[in-house]
Amino acid sequence: MPKFSLRRLLPPLAALAVAGTLAACSGADKEPEYVEKPVTDLYNQAVDLMNAGENIDAAKAFDEVERQHPYSKWATKAQLMASYAYYQEGKYDDAIIALDRFIQLHPGSPDTPYAYYLKSLCFYEQISDVGRDQKMTKLAQQALEEVVTRFPNTEYARDARLKLDLTQDHLAGKEMEVGRFYLKAQQYLAAVNRFRTVVDKFDHTSHVPEALYRLTEAYTLLGLTAEAKKSAAVLGYNYPGSDWYDDAYDLVERGVTDPESNNNGEGNGENNKSWLSKATKWF
């Protein structure tokens, strides 16, 4: 995750020193709630709470900065800091609401790229395993793409691109899981649709070799020999060293649909794969 400079959101050292002195003098007195205070006192109190790991209290304290001093420069900074405090606590919904508000109110702020990036992280860190609904993965993908599109030359965009690759792989993994389920249930056409989605829409992910093999398997079980050979050929052409290709070769040449039984090496010589050159065009 790129380092976001919180320093520029902190008050000057002199203000910190004054705030520390004031806090020391009044620490023993219990102040009434919502008593108006100087903006630097409120802001420094919120920063101290966040540094102490009291993120929810810190977010509320940052909100108080804006409530009491809405036209201060610290109010704008406090809005973003409250979002960050919610994010640190894992209160992603609250963070997203606060970030959307910041973006709407301050579209030209130098901190707006970070606001978009932090919003994308709120979705990204809620991505669940492939066995569950992938709504958050899709929301993370959309938010990360927005960071890349809006701020392409920033460090946030560079990190977003890396995370986009992971979201793509995750979504492909979900398609593969569903496709395997359909294949096992002998719903071969439904399985083909899932595996084709992986090959067509997630062609840069690690799941493509298996998807091509599973297509070969499904087509073979459907009796579509020509389509099975084309799938296997594309697999061999793009991933010639893959174990999935050896399995696909055994499948189309010998009708072996169990990869576990394909380890005897029979029929795997290069001379026996001459059919490959006849079907390397994409289907």
pLDDT of 31 reads 52
Contact criterion met (CB below 8 Å) for 205 and 198: yes
- Examine the pLDDT at 13 and tell me if it is beyond 50: no
Amino acid at site 4: F
pLDDT of 267 reads 39
pLDDT of 30 reads 57
Contact criterion met (CB below 8 Å) for 250 and 232: no
pLDDT in tens, 19-78: 444 444 555 455 545 567 777 778 888 888 988 889 999 999 898 888 888 777 888 898
pLDDT in tens, 175-224: 999 999 999 999 999 999 999 999 999 988 899 999 999 999 999 999 89
Per-residue tokens: 192: 């083909």
d(CA 195, CA 180): 9
- Examine the pLDDT at 8 and tell me if it is beyond 50: yes
> pTM of the prediction?
0.67
- Examine the pLDDT at 101 and tell me if it is beyond 80: yes
**Residue 147 burial (C-beta neighbours within 10 Å; 0-12, 13-18, 19+):** buried
- Three-state SS annotation for 28-79: CCCCCCCCCCCHHHHHHHHHHHHHCCCHHHHHHHHHHHHHHCCCCHHHHHHH
d(CA 120, CA 134): 15
